[in-house]
């Protein structure tokens, strides 16, 4: 789940303040939904980016990148009469396994205006190693890589992790989000990384 931080807000504020050129009415940004399926995978993985609740016949572009990493336009499309557009995209070769990146939507004549939840890059075999601090949200065990990068954890190895411990986990992507919409990792092995952060 993407949680706003100062660097992300500083990046987003000028982008959200941008006004579209006079190319017709635009949907209220708060209503526009941006979804990515799947929410993780390796370099070269095919993903579907779905944008909903746009104004009909609105041209958009879909980009991909991260803070401190390159950004790239991966595709474009035009919404149908119901405000829906799907763009097929491929994860670029410059990504690093174990890092998260953001898909974003922009109007064809503007800067990014809507971001999806983070996309986690895995190795080619679908495995990933990430580090963070173990936490809980409701009945879910979580891993906090940073203020904005939080994953749900599942599996026997995850249930044994004590809250507050800093760990490195070896995992695969779980087939479905089971922790309130968080991208969920099925932990195969966990290693202590030192004291709590």
- Which CATH code, of 1.10.10, 2.40.50, 1.10.1660, 3.40.50, is assigned to 127-191? 2.40.50
Q: What is the pLDDT of residue 47?
A: 98
CA distances to 24, 135, 163, 184 from 138, rounded to whole Å, are 44, 10, 12, 14
Q: What is the pLDDT of residue 6?
A: 33
Query: pTM of the full predicted structure?
Result: 0.81
Beta bridge partners of 183: none
| pLDDT of the chain, 197 residues: tens digit per residue | 434 333 443 344 344 333 333 344 455 666 789 999 999 999 999 999 999 999 999 999 999 998 888 899 999 999 999 999 999 999 999 999 999 999 999 997 788 999 999 999 999 999 999 999 999 998 899 999 988 899 999 999 999 999 999 999 999 999 877 788 899 999 999 999 875 44
Give phi and psi for 180, each to the nearest 5. 60, 35
What architecture is the 6-121 domain classified under in CATH? Sandwich (2.60)
Q: What is the pLDDT of residue 178?
A: 76
Domain ranges of the chain: 6-121, 127-191
Q: What is the pLDDT of residue 4?
A: 39
Do 119 and 39 form a contact (C-beta atoms < 8 A)?
yes
Three-point CA angle 45, 47, 52, nearest 5°? 170
Q: What is the pLDDT of residue 70?
A: 87
Pairing of strands 100-107, 112-115: antiparallel
Q: What is the pLDDT of residue 138?
A: 87
């Amino acid at each position: 789940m993407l949680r706003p931080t100062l660097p992300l807000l500083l990046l987003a504020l000028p982008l959200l303040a941008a006004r579209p050129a006079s190319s017709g009415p635009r949907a209220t940004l708060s209503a526009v939904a941006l979804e990515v399926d799947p929410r993780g995978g390796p370099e070269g993985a095919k993903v579907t980016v779905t944008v909903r609740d746009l104004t009909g016949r609105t041209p958009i572009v879909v980009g991909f990148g991260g803070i401190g990493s390159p950004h790239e336009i991966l595709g474009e499309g035009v919404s149908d009469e119901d405000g829906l557009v799907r763009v097929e995209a491929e994860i670029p070769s410059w990504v690093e396994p174990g890092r998260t990146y953001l898909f974003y939507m922009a109007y064809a004549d503007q800067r990014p205006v809507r971001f999806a939840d983070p996309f986690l890059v895995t190795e080619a075999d679908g495995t990933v190693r990430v580090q963070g601090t173990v936490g809980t949200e409701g009945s879910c065990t979580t891993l906090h890589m940073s203020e904005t990068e939080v994953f749900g954890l599942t599996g026997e190895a995850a249930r044994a992790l004590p809250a507050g411990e800093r760990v490195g986990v070896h995992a695969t992507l779980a087939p479905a989000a089971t922790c309130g919409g968080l991208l969920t990792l099925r932990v195969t092995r966990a290693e202590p990384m030192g004291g709590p952060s």
